[in-house]
Structure 1
Amino acid sequence: MSEKTEEKRRFHRIFYHADAQVAATGGQSQSCKIVDLSLRGCLLELSAPLAEISDQSYELTFELSPEAVIRMEIVATHTEGNLAGFRCAHIDIDSISLLRRLVELNLGDSELLERELSALGNFS
């Protein structure tokens, strides 16, 4: 990753390898693997490359436990082979609470998390 890209990054990515499901809005679901997550998006390893980058919405779903499921609406931003980066377009309050806790535990720094949450509020 270039220094310029690193300087622009406002959200720390956590490496959270987990199985997930991704589905195009109104489409069939397919299995994928989460490579990393942030409060702003994710990098997924898909079973097949995305055909194109568009404004198409997808729903990402993954379990932290049977009682704790995170769901977020995502939009593709870039691809490289079977890897695809997505930005979070929408996330419900229960899912953002779970994601916040997951990021907090992985960062180990609640002050850093608060800065990221503040930066998240500054995006439109």
Structure 2
Amino acid sequence: MPSSRATPETGPGDDRSTDLIRWAAFSCFLVPVVLLWYGTSLAGATGTALGLAAVTAVCRVLLRRSERCAARLLDEDLDEDEAPQAHHRGRHQRTGTGSHRGRRHSGGNSPVG
């Protein structure tokens, strides 16, 4: 029986990162207003607004870049899943008798002395 809950489809303006950027832009407006309300100088509030806007812009660029890289990696993984390949274990995932090579001492938990 299919689930009654539909899977959300994300569009170009309907994802979490867009919401995050919107909240950050809102704070770029709200923080200077609050600073002015509490008596900070106009120059100080303006500097704060510009600083927050710069940080928000850099974060947006990095977030979009990260999303593009993640999407590209996901596409590559999906392409690799279609072609059968030999199972590969990383160098730290050995099993069997040779799995503890490189230890400094062979005697249980006794300290090296």
What is the TM-score with the length of structure 2 in the denominator? 0.25
Q: Which has the larger radius of gyration?
A: 2
Q: Which has the higher helix share?
A: 2
* Higher RCO structure, 1 or 2 (CA under 8 Å, sep 6+): 1
**Which is richer in strand?**
1
TM score, norm. by length of structure 1: 0.23
